[in-house]
Every structure is written in C-alpha cells, then in structure tokens.
Amino acid sequence: MARSVSDSDSVRRHNRGLLLGALRANGPQSRTALAGLTGLSHASVTAIMQDLLAQNLVEELVEPRSDDARGRGRPATLVGFARQAAYVALFEIDVNKARLSLIDYAGVLVDRTESEISPSTFRETPPHQFLGQKLDHMIARNAKAKGALRRVAISIQGILDRDGSGLQWSPLTGLAGMPFASDLAESSGLPVTLHKRGRLLAEGTRWLDPDLQDASVATVFVGSTVAMGLSLHGQIMGRGDDGATEFGHMNHTPGGALCRCGMRGCIEAYAADYGVLRAAYSVPETAAPAPAVPAQQYESLIQRAEAGDRNFTHAFNLAGRAIGYGLSRMLAMFDPSHILIVGPGARALNLMRPEIEAALSSSLVCKINGMPSITGHMDEKEPVFRGLMMKTLSDVDQTDFAALPAIPTQKRAAG
Amino acid sequence: MARSVSDSDSVRRHNRGLLLGALRANGPQSRTALAGLTGLSHASVTAIMQDLLAQNLVEELVEPRSDDARGRGRPATLVGFARQAAYVALFEIDVNKARLSLIDYAGVLVDRTESEISPSTFRETPPHQFLGQKLDHMIARNAKAKGALRRVAISIQGILDRDGSGLQWSPLTGLAGMPFASDLAESSGLPVTLHKRGRLLAEGTRWLDPDLQDASVATVFVGSTVAMGLSLHGQIMGRGDDGATEFGHMNHTPGGALCRCGMRGCIEAYAADYGVLRAAYSVPETAAPAPAVPAQQYESLIQRAEAGDRNFTHAFNLAGRAIGYGLSRMLAMFDPSHILIVGPGARALNLMRPEIEAALSSSLVCKINGMPSITGHMDEKEPVFRGLMMKTLSDVDQTDFAALPAIPTQKRAAG
DNA sequence: ACATCTTTTTTCGAGCACTAAAATTATTGC
DNA sequence: GCAATAATTTTAGTGCTCGAAAAAAGATGT
C-alpha cells in the first residue's frame, strides 16, 4: 500500500510539519505571518503553536524591533525555533579531511572539529570507531547537547548500499563494505543517516534561493569528482530511496579514459580535476588517475587555459564535451528548469561552456525546447554543509517533532 | 507553497480516493476486504460507501457465488464500480491508424472505431477537427454516454509542449504546433489530456502485474520508434509534468547515425526498426531513414539474424549496443528494479541481449549493484491501451469523484 | 423447525482538528 | 484618556475517523 489512511492524527502531523517547515524556510515569524505562509487559519496557528511552545520546540522572541518598522496596531510577537530543543551532529567526510559540526535546532553552529584524513586512516581505525571517537569527544565538550542530540548525519562520496547503512564503493579507502552507519547508530543509540555529497548539493541549493525551493534543479559538482543532485518540483530524485545520482560515472565514451572508479569512459574521467590534468599534460587516457589534485594546481590549469595554451584549452574542451553530452543524456530523461555548476570547476565554466553548448545543441530536446540556462556557483563547501544541515534539521522537524502527540486540552478546570 | 493545509475535507478526499483506488486495482470487493486493503476501519468503509452508493458511483453486486467458495457466516456483498457512472473516450493515434474507444466507468469497452491515417490526413483535416468528428460520431452512436462522458484522453508520439495542449514535435505529419488538445477541449466542453505513448507504457505495465504497482520500472518500447516510460516507487517520472522521457532520442554516439528526428546519433537511429534495416543492408548511416517498416519486413530481419547472417546479426548488435549504453546512462541517474522491453523489438531481445549486457557491464553501477534483470514482453498494443484507460479512469476516480462533497447526514429525523 | 454459530455490516458515542466569528490584548495617535 | 488598528485567543460548530457493540444474514446441528 503506497498511500495510507488519513485521519485526524495525520492532519495534525501534516499541519504541524507545515508550520515547522515555514519556520525552517523563512526564519522566525509572527503567528499572523505563519497563517498567511501556510494557509492555516489564525485559530489553528494559535492552537498548534501552543503545543509547540509547551513542548519547548519554539519560543517567543523578544526583539526590540526598530522603531520605524513599527505599525499601528498590536505588535506581532515573532516565534522561532528554541535552540536547545534539539542538536544534530554532522560529519562531512572528504578525501583529505573530516569535519564534525554540532548544530542546534535553530541551525546555529555550536561546535566544530576538523581532522586530517589519509588513505591509511580508515585502515588503522575502523570508520565507525573513528567517527564514534570524534562524536564522543564532541558530546563530552558540549554537556548541553548530551540529552538533546537527535541525529547524526554523514556526508560521503561513493555508492551507498540499498539500505543506507554503508557504502558499496567509495573513492575513500577503507570505507566500502563497512556498515559504519548502523554500527555508529548502535554504539551511539542515535539514528545515523548517510548522504551522498551529490544529493546534498541538490538539497543545499534548494535552500540558497527561495525560487529554487519548488523548482526542478540539476546541480552538478565539478572538482575532484563529478556529481549531480537532482530535484524535481522540490522533490529530491535519483537512484535509490535517498535520491542520489551517479552522474560522474555515467558513461561518456565507451572504452574511453580510465576513471578513478576503475571503469572506462566515465564523465568524471574527463571532467574531474584529475581528468583535466591528465589531458592537459598529454598523459595517456589509460594512465592511472592522480590520487589528489591540489587546489592551486587545478587553478593553474585554469589560468594556463585562460592564457590560451592549446593543450590546456583542449583539456577543458574535453571536460566540457563530457559534461555536455552527459547533460544532454540526462535531459532526455528529465527537464530541470535550472542547471547549476558548483565546486572548483565552476571557475572553469567559461572554458567549458562552448563544448557544453555544442553537445547540448546536438540533442533533440534542446532543439525543441531551447537551450537550458546553465549557471555557475563558486562556493563549494557551503552548499554541501548547508544541504546536510537543512536536510537533517528538516528530518528532525518532520519526522520527530511533527509526529509528537497533541497536548490534551482540559475542558475548563473542573469546579 | 508545495504542500497545502490538511483539513477534514482533504481527509475525506484522500480516503475516498483510497477506496476508489483499491476497487480500481483489485476489482469488486466486499466492504470487509476493502477495510483490509485500505487500512480504514469497517465503520469508515461503510460510511464512505454509503456516500458512493448514494452518488451512484458504485453498486452492490448480486453474484451467485460458487457453492464451495461459501464460508460459514454472513456472506459478503461485493461492491463494484457502477458502469454508467462515467464514460471516457480514448484516442490512440499511431503512424498509420487512429483508434477511438469508448470505455465505461468499470473499464468495459463500450464502442470502438478505427480509421486509417496517412501523412496527408492531418494536412487535409486539422487534427482537432478530425478528432472532433470521430468523437461526435461516437457520442451520437451511444446515447447513454452523452451526459456522462467525463474525459477525452489521447495517446500520441512526439514531444509535448509544456502545458500539454499540443505537440512541439511529432513523427506524425501535421500534428506539431497545432494546439489540438485545447481546441478539442473547447469544442467538446470536456477535459482533454495528451499522453506520450512512452509514458503510457509505464502506466500500462504497472497495471499488468500487481508486483509492479509500487515498484520502479523502466519500460522500453522498441519498434518503429524507441521510447521509455519510467515509474519510481509507483510514481510516474520523467520530463515535464506528465512524466515522459525522450529515451529514443538520447544521444548514443556523437555525430552518429541520422535519426528520423533530424539529429545525429540518437538511440532510435540504431535500435528502431528503420535503424536496424539500414544497418542490415549496409545503407550509409547518414541516409534518410525509411519512412515506415512493415511488420513482416522487420520480422524477416530477425529471422535472417537468427539464421546467423552476419550483416543482420551485426545490425542487431548495433541496436543492442545503443540500447545497452542508453540503459547504462539511465541507470547512472535512476535505479529501477525492473527493466521491461516491449513492442516488436521484444522479439529480437535475444539477438540484442549480449551487446546490451556488454554495455551495462562496463558501467560502475552494474559492477556494484549487479546486472539488472531485463525481460521482454511481446504484446505492444495492449500496454498502451491499458495504460491510457487505467490512467484516465484513475484520473476520474481521484480528481472528479474523490473530491465530490459528502452527503450531509441528517441527525435522526426530526420528530 | 429452531437455536446456535460465524462472519459481515451498521450504528452509536467519543475524540480531534479545523474554521469562522467574536472577544481580547497591546500599541499608536490625538 | 479614548479611539483606531492590528495581532492573538476564545468560543461554538462541523466533519471526519475510530472502537465497541449491536444488528443482520446465512450456515450448521439437533
């Protein structure tokens, strides 16, 4: 049964979720504003808000509003998330470092630690132990969060197994095959969720610009890997339940360049930093990919291409061609209204754009519907972090807190 | 606002829809069975059913159940759709013929007409006029349906424009650019919906096998064109709101074989009947595609390939390779649990399978998750018709009838 | 033929969440 | 202080679901 029965319980859950979602997306609001935002009546907003206040999920803000913003009537009292209502721990695991952030329910960064990662890290310390130690340390340092920590979310690269407990494959050594999410869940007693970085890009982008909130967006990360997050009408889409794509490992050329994943001809093998590097220095396509490309080296590739050096412009042309045909193939299946390029590769968008557009213009859908708009966004880290944070806090809102039972109303005090 | 507020009205709509959907998917049922199927309480099923009966949407069946099927207690009274509650008119427009079927609310075929179509048909008669005449004729012959006709749905090939009122491109001459859906809606006074044939394949397949109802299925039609319908967890997905893909026109080889759509290297240009024909007889890839390939000619291609003729097996190898890489690229974005090949090309699946699997095995996702199961289904016409019918009847259920207002309950007759 | 058993269906009363409209509250402006 | 204005809360009423119990409709047994 895909749909389940609707009753007054599901109504309450839905409308509480609506209210929490409106606060999450728009920040602290007055009850009247929330009524307008959600479509609920003022009476219902009041009733629901009384429960949320009683459950200490939200609190009334006493803000000395600037004098000129004051109107005539009774001033509105803004309601916002109660910071201490919940905490979430967010791991961002990258090829060379891992970062753990403790976030409160209002989305404020409470504490953060960062550690170096090397290919040997997870061979020496099993991943669930490594993460468990960081988490314990973080909890020990923040007594407040101890009882209120609700979720652990991990951003990771690779292919998740179907139940989301671990990775089937990862560019990071020592992670594949370890069910570290479920291990960590067991040792910490908390729900632990695993998120592909590409998917978080899509999620993070949605929160950047309100226009993108309900739009269909394909967000392509170009950097040390190539990844894509996809949202359709505000719904995250993709492979598996968690919604993530393997755009970077979509085949571009059969039997083509060697990819870090071991296959041949993946888009990533042409468009990720190591692919461009390899092509720029005329290293054979079948040579093993460089393990990591420092940021400044990638930057110098861009600069030499911008200076007009043929080998370098050629390398970016190949990258653009791979991305362009990948997008054209994706567009045969979906029709996003926005295509965003993020990550270090966004710096090179202008170098790649001619080949991207050439590839797109050879497809029927672009001939019919016209060229989609492709824009670059320069910041890499924040979309992922923001996506991880907003996704996790939204999960707390909708899964944990929207489902809380109502406070029984005592029909006028018994005399 | 993506989500809208939930109230008792939406609860009723939802649960009525649940009940109608259970009847649609499982046929006539007893109230008790419906309670189990939907999760509603017996009391609610009774209450909702009283409304549905009063509104003449369903009726109790008096069926002389076979003696051995009888149990001990009070026998169940089955409830089924009232046939005359609604009618829908379904057009299936193909390259060489158009078929109009009149279906009653229980899904029984009431009347059907079929007419030849030639490339000149829609040049001589504008499509909305052509369809309008057929429809008027059909209504005139079936007096019963006159007042109860609720929807007109049209199955078509090509690319729909964004609002679904017409086609931006079509392999059928004279249809592109004509807003015939809205014209017909205006002249008939009925809602007219346009559906890509590829999308109906996905819809029709879902109703064939209950297992597929909530599964993720990619249905690939191979024949005079190549098309794909995609459903994810029972939700139809794809380009645009109506959910349809352009899989056939996904690029396979940059600058490759000339496709009927005018572009180069589309999957269809290799895998549709004309593509195989062209390759089998070593006609240059850039030669104009044959306008139509008779069924027996395609069949003879298969037979000569099965007999081992090199040119012919090679042609099917190219077709399989195009489909295989197309699927591998699709799988980078989505992860259907079933892949079905339907249409005339299903006959040739065994000829194409080795190349399909070779292409798939060169992709990371297949290496990790294993090869998806690919099965052939021989019947072409019925999935499309079934999909069109079930989709349209479900629309009537969920859009028209689930939203009907409740019958006011008179609190015990006034004394 | 009649009482008993079994299963389906309906009835009844309670609970809950929503809404509209009225009442209340907090400020500003004069 | 009093009117005007705008935000919030209270009140009364409606519609939906559910659980429990009652009613209905045959089948079975003596």
Tell me the C-alpha distance between A297 and B278, whole Å: 49
What the block records as the tokens of B233 is 């967890």
Q: What is the mean pLDDT of residues B238-263?
A: 87
Tell me whether strands A149-156 and A192-196 are parallel, antiparallel or unpaired: parallel
Residues in chain B: 415
What the block records as the tokens of A32 is 């009247």
In 3-state terms, what secondary structure has residue B116?
Answer: strand
In sequence order, what are the residues at sequence separation of 6 or more whose Cβ sits closer than 8 angstroms to the Cβ of residue B284?
none
Residue B333: per-residue pLDDT: 92
Hey, what amino acid is at A152? V
Query: B2 CA to chain A: closest CA distance, Å?
Result: 7
Percent of chain B at pLDDT exceeding 70: 94
**Of B87, B86, B76, which is closest to residue B45 (Cα–Cα)?**
B76
Residue carrying the six token digits 């190949």: A318
The whole-number Å distance from A72's CA to C25's C1' is: 14
What single DSSP character describes residue A249?
A: G
Residues in chain A: 415
Q: What domains lie within chain B, and their CATH numbers?
A: 8-65+73-81 (1.10.10.10), 85-190 (3.30.420.40), 200-380 (3.30.420.40)
Residue A411: per-residue pLDDT: 46
What values do phi and psi take at B111, rounded to 5? -155, 155
Interface of A with B in 24-43 (CB under 8 A): 37-40
Q: Which chain A residues are Cβ-neighbours of B256 within 8 angstroms? A: none
Residue A11 predicted with pLDDT over 50: yes
Minimum CA–C1' distance nucleotide for A47: D9
DSSP string for B42-107: HHHHHHHHHHHHHTTSEEE------GGG--SSSPPPEEEE-GGG-EEEEEEE-SSEEEEEEEETTS
Q: What is the mean pLDDT of residues B314-324?
A: 98
Q: What is the mean pLDDT of residues B315-319?
A: 97
pLDDT tens digits for range A137-154: 999 999 999 889 999 999
| Pick from A5, A240, A363: CB nearest B39 | A5
Tell me the C-alpha distance between B20 and B368, whole Å: 41
Residue A381: per-residue pLDDT: 59
Tell me the C-alpha distance between A118 and A63, whole Å: 47
In sequence order, what are the residues at sequence separation of 6 or more whose Cβ sits closer than 8 angstroms to the Cβ of residue B19?
B34, B38, B40, B45, B48, B49, B52
What values do phi and psi take at B276, rounded to 5? -65, -45
pLDDT tens digits for range B150-171: 999 999 988 888 777 888 888 7
Least confident of A86-90, A369-373, A399-403: A369-373
The whole-number Å distance from B70's CA to C6's C1' is: 12
**Of A226, A227, A254, A362, which is closest to residue B328 (Cα–Cα)?**
A254
pLDDT tens digits for range A152-168: 999 998 888 877 788 88
- Contact yes or no for B3 and A15 at CB 8 A: no
What the block records as the tokens of B376 is 């052939």
Q: How confident is the model at residue A69 (pLDDT cuts 50, 70, 90)?
A: low
Nucleic chain D contacts, Cβ below 7 Å: A 5-8, 30-33, 42-43, 45-47, 49-50, 71-77, 412; B 8-9, 11-12, 15, 39-44, 47-48, 70, 72-75, 406, 408
pLDDT tens digits for range B252-292: 999 999 999 999 999 999 999 999 999 999 999 999 998 88
Residue B68 predicted with pLDDT over 60: no
Q: How far is C-alpha B182 from the geometric centre of its chain's CA atoms?
A: 21
The whole-number Å distance from B213's CA to C9's C1' is: 30
Tell me the C-alpha distance between B145 and B48, whole Å: 26
Query: A332 CA to chain B: closest CA distance, Å?
Result: 5
Residue B32 predicted with pLDDT over 70: yes
pLDDT tens digits for range B216-228: 889 999 998 899 9
- Contact yes or no for A6 and B2 at CB 8 A: no
Q: Does B240 touch chain A (CB under 8 A)?
A: yes
Residue A67: per-residue pLDDT: 57
Residue B413: per-residue pLDDT: 39
Residue A41 predicted with pLDDT over 50: yes
Interface of B with A in 155-184 (CB under 8 A): 159, 168-169
Tell me the C-alpha distance between A259 and A270, whole Å: 8
Percent of chain A at pLDDT exceeding 90: 65
Residue B241: per-residue pLDDT: 61
Q: Does B216 touch chain A (CB under 8 A)?
A: no
Query: A311 CA to chain B: closest CA distance, Å?
Result: 22
Q: Which residues of A198-235 are buried (b: 16+ CB within 10 A; e: fewer)?
A: bbbbbbbbbbbeeebbebbbbbbbbbbbbbbbbbbeee
Minimum CA–C1' distance nucleotide for B7: C18
Whether B142 contacts B123, CB under 8 Å: no
Q: Which of residues 385-414 of A touch strand C (CB under 7 A)?
A: 406, 408-409
DSSP string for A60-120: E------GGG--SSSPPPEEEE-GGG-EEEEEEE-SSEEEEEEEETTS-EEEEEEEE--TT
Residue carrying the six token digits 């589309």: B266
Q: How far is CA B14 from CA A18, A194, A405, B232, B234, in A?
A: 18, 33, 22, 21, 17
Residue B11 predicted with pLDDT over 70: yes
Residue A153 β-bridge partners = A90, A193
Least confident of A183-197, A397-411, B183-197, B391-405: A397-411
Q: What is the pTM for the complete model shown?
A: 0.88
Terminal CA-to-CA distance of chain A, rounded, Å? 48
E runs forming strands in A94-232: 97-104, 109-116, 149-156, 159-160, 167-169, 192-196, 217-222, 226-232
Least confident of A199-213, B74-88, B323-337: A199-213
What the block records as the tokens of A318 is 């190949």
Q: How confident is the model at residue B1 (pLDDT cuts 50, 70, 90)?
A: very low
Tell me the C-alpha distance between B219 and B229, whole Å: 5
Q: How far is C-alpha A220 from the geometric centre of its chain's CA atoms?
A: 12
pLDDT tens digits for range A204-253: 888 877 777 778 889 999 998 899 988 888 777 767 666 678 999 999 99
Q: What is the mean pLDDT of residues B72-87?
A: 91
Whether A140 contacts A149, CB under 8 Å: no
Residue A415: per-residue pLDDT: 32
Whether A265 contacts A254, CB under 8 Å: yes
Query: B333 CA to chain A: closest CA distance, Å?
Result: 5
Residue A173: per-residue pLDDT: 75
Q: Which chain A residues are Cβ-neighbours of B215 within 8 angstroms? A: none
